[in-house]
Amino acid sequence: MNMALDLDKVYQALGFRCAPFRITPDTSFFFPHGQYLAALGHLRYGVMSGGITLLTGEVGLGKTLLCRCFMRQVALQGVRTAYVFNPQQNYKDLLASLYHDLTGLDAQSASEGALHDLLYQTLIDFAQQKIRVALIVDEAHALSPELLEGLRLISNLETEENKLISLMLFGQTELEETLSLPSMRALKQRISVWHRLRPFGWSETGEYIQHRTNNARISGDFRFSQGALMASRYYSKGVPRRINQICDRAVLLAFARGHYEVNLSMLREAAREVLGLNPAH
């Protein structure tokens, strides 16, 4: 039995084109909430200013989705980006990865010093063409202090007039702890934009659920009751990933019972299953 295919049929039977609460960072489900729009504004400013920009938040608050939305936006504005998704590497590998992303060329066999020179010349070439460059690091909380210092050195590349590259760091709040170390003082002083994401409030959680439901809908009127919306905030604490997990389970419970509305009892049952709570909660 193909479980994925069977679930697709369930969502289609409820009037959805796809699972409305999948946890993958799908930019088509971007929620234009105030704090997300503000974060994107801060990130765009960071690129234009040429400084170091930091976006932090607890697990599940939407950092990777914001990262992908940001990359799509700046690409439309002609900004060249290099994306680091593996923070567990050494400085030489980072330089080689950055050079490859910007040029498409493989320079793994070059020395660290040669890679640094190649990267500098590449950035000079982009600057002469009036093309801005941004280095985007996801999961930046996993970077070692040594690699963070290497990133600071990269961000120092400049001409007499302009910075040659902007550094954008996306990470969990552990990154803030690392940056508070005395050895990170030079890097911390270079941060020009620092934005921290927070969980959704009560009304924001309801708006988020309705946004995803409407976004995925192609027919019908599947919905969440007001009580279910309020309970989703209570159990999820406003964390988008947890909201998705609970609501996805609640949608499947509604289908199993032949309903086109998630009510309070279904939401509670789904939350208990997802969170491993006992029936008393």
pLDDT band at 156 (very low <50, low <70, confident <90, very high): confident
- pLDDT tens-digit profile of 187-237? 888 898 999 999 999 999 999 999 999 999 999 999 999 999 999 999 999
Same domain, 132 and 269: no
Q: Is residue 215 part of a domain?
A: yes
pTM for the full model?
0.88
Residues 246 and 115 in one domain: no
- The pLDDT tens digits of the residues spanning 240-273 come to 999 999 999 999 999 999 999 999 999 999 999 9
Could you tell me which residues are beta bridge partners of residue 217?
16
Same domain? For 81 and 180 the reply is: yes
Helices (H), the chain: 3-13, 34-49, 63-76, 91-103, 112-128, 145-155, 174-179, 185-189, 202-216, 226-236, 240-256, 264-275
Positive/negative CA dihedral, 179, 171, 91, 105: negative
Q: What domain range includes position 49? A: 34-196
Residue 149 forms part of a structural domain? yes
Q: How many domains in the chain?
A: 2
Cα 7 → chain centroid:
26
Q: Where among 196, 213, 229 does a domain terminate?
A: 196
Best CA proximity match to 261, nearest among 249, 271, 250, 272: 250
Distance CA(147)–CA(144), nearest Å, equals 5
Of 200, 210, 245, 235, the residue nearest 57 (C-alpha):
200
Q: Are residues 179 and 219 in the same domain?
A: no
Note whether 28 and 40 are within 8 A (CB). no
